[in-house]
Every structure is written in C-alpha cells, then in structure tokens.
C-alpha cells in the first residue's frame, strides 16, 4: 500500500459523493492505495453514500469509520491512526482530484527521501461566476504563482519545486506518517460554533513545526485538486466569518508561541470601528454598479479589505480575551498535542458567541 487517502466529513454527503467518484477514478494502481472516510457525526445520508461507493467499486479499498467527536481534528487523527500506508494524503470532502494527482504525490516522496510534505495546485471550481471584488484577495506567492487563502486556492506555477510548508493546505496535504507524529499532529480546526473559543490553527501547527526543524516541503504542479466554491462562499457574510475565525486561529498560534505571556485585552473601540466600516460597505454596495463612481471597484475593494481585517482583529481579540479569563481555554491552547482529543463539556462553551 503506497498511500492512504483520508477524507474527514460531516453532513456533506453530496459533495463527498463527487469527491469519492474523483479519487476512485485516478490513474493509479487501485491495489496500491486506500480511501478512508471518517464521518464526524453526520446526520445526513453520508454513510449510504460511502456504502454505495464501496458497492460500485469493489476492487478498491474504501473504508467507512464513524466517530461522533466533532471537529476536523477527529477525522485527521483517526484517519492517521487507521491508515495502512506510511504516506498520508489528507483532502477535504469537496475536492475533485486530477487524474495524475496521486501519482505526482507518491513519485515525489519516492524520488526525494528528504521531503516530508507535498502539496500541489488547488484550483477553483466555482458554482457561479465570482463577484468582481473577489479578485482583490488573490496574492502573489513568493517564488511565483498566486494564492487566495480565504477560499483555499493556490497555483504556484508549472514547475516542481521546494516551497514554504505554509503553502501546503489541508484540502491537499500529504505527509509522511512518521513526520506527522514526530511533529505532534494537527491542531483543532472547524470547531462547532458553540465551541469557537476552542478553535485552533489546524495544519498551521504542523507547518510551523516543520519550518522550525528545517524539514522540506515540495510543490508538484500535477498534484492538482479542484476545490468546489459554492455561491454561499462568495459572499461578504462568508468572508466576515472566514476572517473572524482566522483571527481566532492567529490568536491560538500566538498564544502557543508566547505561552500566554502577552495576552491582548479586548479593545471595545474595535466594535465602533467595525460598525463604521460595515455601514460604509453597505452604503456602497446598495448602489447600482453604474452609480458607484469611476473608482467603484477600487473603493469596494478597499472598504471590504478594511472590513474583513476588522473582523479578523475582532476574532483575535475575542480569543485572546477568552483565554485570559479561562484557565480551561489556556490549558487547551497550550497542550503538548491533541492526539487524545475530546472537546470540553458544554458547560464551558461560549453561550454568547459573536458569529
């Protein structure tokens, strides 16, 4: 067995069905890879989707495992534990893999023994034409190419190369099993909203640990996945939430680095700034495009960038304040690892979550 493809999922049966069809149709010896679906407490027809895939592809190794502990971390660590291969290929349940995707990943690990992490192109599969303001969130990547972290998209060019581990993301994240355990595993991610103060930084912890140890990450352009981007994710409301949770994740990272020595107190004035930015954004976007002025696109981009950065700051300060006022949260943030992963009880969940 050369690779174990691990797919954590929860209540996204239709997307999962398309993902399974994709990874079971790649150009790779079916006897040399397995697919492990970790169901994190779905209440939809996820199980029947996987069982149908197993029935339709009896020649493949497809396993379904139910684990009701919520959060993406459950699926990732449970999948790593169950995997029969030393190459762990983590993907999201809403991607489609290119035909040569897994071959590029496995070939890279075999050709370069010093490489610990492999990623590739994460290209968009938009449900509809994205609004023009989305373009403002593409960034130039060091060494060439571009990326948009908010929608987990990246294209670093058409040449294989070593890259910063921070540019290998969870939807297309392949790592040696020994390396994952040596680096302490993943951190909490995609935590249910009522537990938002226990959100972590996901695969960022692994990538930062790799950088600290000088481990190599590699980009292969043929290790390509196509990420479904539904219309709902191309809205201002989604970006608000995305930046807020990014702020929480950034706070989690900083607290682990600082071990709680420099906690930032919440700034009430931020709320007023956020309200002002929100009002300005709504005022501009209520106008018809032809009435927004000659510099409408630039104005929209600028307003939205300010608004989303304010949301990111709000998330950061929310988490810093929560950690400052709770020993439970601070102990959670500074744990050595999360292999023994169980969320705290509902009694410590935030009953007044912001988003």
- What average pLDDT does the structure give for the chain? 88
* Tens-place pLDDT, residues 252-298: 999 998 863 333 333 434 444 444 544 544 444 444 544 444 445 56
Q: Compute how many other C-beta atoms are within 10 angstroms of the C-beta atom of residue 298.
A: 11
Q: How remote is the C-alpha of 315 from its chain's centroid? A: 17
pLDDT of residue 298: 66
Residues 157 and 253 in one domain: no
**pLDDT interval class at 192 (50, 70, 90):** confident
Question: Bridge-partner residues for 123, per DSSP?
Answer: 226
Do residues 240 and 191 share a domain?
Answer: no
Neighbour-count burial for 117-154, b at 16+ CB within 10 Å, e otherwise: bbbbbbebeeeeebeebbebbeeebeeebebbebbbbb
Read off the pLDDT of residues 307-353 as tens digits, 9 standing for 90 and up: 999 999 999 999 999 999 999 999 999 999 999 988 876 545 554 45
Q: Are strands 146-148 and 139-140 parallel, antiparallel or unpaired?
A: antiparallel
Distance, in Å, from the CA atom of 245 to the CA atom of 193, rounded to the nearest integer, reads: 10
What is the model's pTM? 0.89
Instruction: Let me know if residue 139 belongs to a domain.
Output: yes
Same domain, yes or no: 213 and 281: no
Report the pLDDT value the prediction gives residue 355, as an integer from 0 to 100: 58
What is the predicted pLDDT for the residue at 193? 84
| pLDDT surpasses 60 at 75 | yes
310, part of any domain: yes
Q: Which of 66-70, 173-177, 333-337 has the highest mean pLDDT?
A: 173-177
**At 222, which helix (H) or strand (E)?**
strand 216-229
**297 lies in the same domain as 230:** no
Range of the domain at 255: 236-348
Are residues 86 and 226 both part of a single domain?
Answer: yes
Structural domain contains residue 332: yes
Give the domain-ending residue among 234, 250, 269: 234
Question: Is 355 contained in some domain?
Answer: no
Residue 354 counted as domain residue: no
Q: Does residue 200 sit in the same domain as residue 93?
A: yes
Q: What is the C-alpha separation between 275 and 140, in angstroms, rounded?
A: 31
Give me the pLDDT at residue 263, please: 36
- What is the DSSP code (8-state) at residue 27? S
Position 135 confidence tier, pLDDT thresholds 50, 70, 90: confident
Strand 115-126 versus strand 216-229 pairing type? parallel
Among the residue ranges 31-40, 82-91, 269-278, 339-348, the one predicted with the least confidence is: 269-278
Query: Are residues 271 and 208 part of one domain?
Result: no
Per the domain annotation, does 155 fall within a domain? yes
- Ranges of H-type helices in 259-324: 269-286, 296-324
Say whether both 257 and 271 belong to one domain: yes
pLDDT for position 230: 97
pLDDT at 39: 97
| The pLDDT value given to residue 91 | 98
Residues 69, 159: one domain? yes
Task: Indicate whether 105 belongs to any domain.
Answer: yes
Greater confidence, 292 or 234? 234
Q: Are residues 118 and 207 in the same domain?
A: yes
Do 130 and 264 fall within a single domain? no
pLDDT at 194: 85
CA 130, 131, 135, 138 torsion-angle sign:
negative
Indicate the residue among 234, 262, 277 that finishes a domain.
234
Domain boundary among 185, 201, 234: 234
* Confidence (pLDDT) at 270: 45
Task: Count how many domains the chain has.
Answer: 2
Residue 267 in domain: yes
Residue 55 has pLDDT above 90, yes or no: yes
Q: Residues 214, 318: one domain?
A: no
CATH number at residue 133: 3.90.550.10
Q: Which two tokens stand for residue 64?
A: 């379904």
């Amino acid at each position: 067995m050369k690779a174990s493809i691990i797919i954590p999922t929860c209540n996204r049966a239709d997307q999962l069905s398309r993902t399974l069809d994709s990874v079971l149709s790649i150009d790779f010896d079916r006897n040399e890879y397995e697919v492990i679906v970790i169901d994190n407490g779905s209440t939809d027809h996820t199980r029947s989707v996987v069982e149908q895939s197993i029935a339709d592809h009896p020649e493949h190794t497809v396993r379904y495992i139910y684990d009701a502990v919520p959060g993406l971390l459950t699926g990732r660590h449970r999948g790593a534990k169950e995997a029969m291969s030393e190459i762990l290929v983590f993907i999201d349940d809403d991607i489609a893999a290119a035909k040569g995707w897994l071959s590029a990943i496995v070939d890279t690990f075999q050709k370069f023994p010093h490489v610990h992490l492999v990623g590739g192109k994460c290209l968009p599969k938009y449900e509809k034409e994205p609004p023009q303001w989305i373009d403002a969130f593409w960034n130039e990547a060091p060494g060439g190419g571009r990326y948009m972290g908010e929608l987990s998209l990246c294209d670093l060019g058409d040449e294989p190369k070593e890259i910063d581990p921070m540019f290998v993301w969870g939807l297309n994240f392949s790592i040696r099993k020994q390396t994952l355990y040596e680096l302490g595993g993943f951190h909490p991610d995609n935590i249910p909203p009522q537990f938002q103060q226990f959100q972590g930084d996901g695969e960022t912890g692994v990538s930062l640990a790799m950088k600290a140890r000088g481990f190599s990450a590699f980009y292969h352009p043929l290790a390509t996945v196509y990420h479904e981007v539904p219309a709902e994710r191309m809205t201002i409301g989604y970006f608000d939430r995305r930046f807020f949770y990014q702020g929480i994740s950034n706070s989690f990272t900083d607290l682990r680095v600082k071990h709680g020595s420099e906690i930032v107190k919440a700034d009430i004035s931020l709320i007023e700034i956020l309200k002002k930015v929100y009002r300005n954004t709504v005022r501009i976007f209520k106008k018809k495009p032809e009435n927004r002025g000659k510099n409408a696109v630039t104005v929209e981009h600028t307003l939205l960038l300010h608004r989303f950065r304010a949301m990111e700051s709000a998330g950061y300060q929310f988490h810093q304040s929560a950690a400052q006022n709770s020993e439970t949260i601070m102990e959670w943030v500074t744990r050595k690892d999360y292999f023994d992963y169980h969320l705290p009880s509902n009694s410590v969940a935030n009953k007044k979550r912001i988003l």
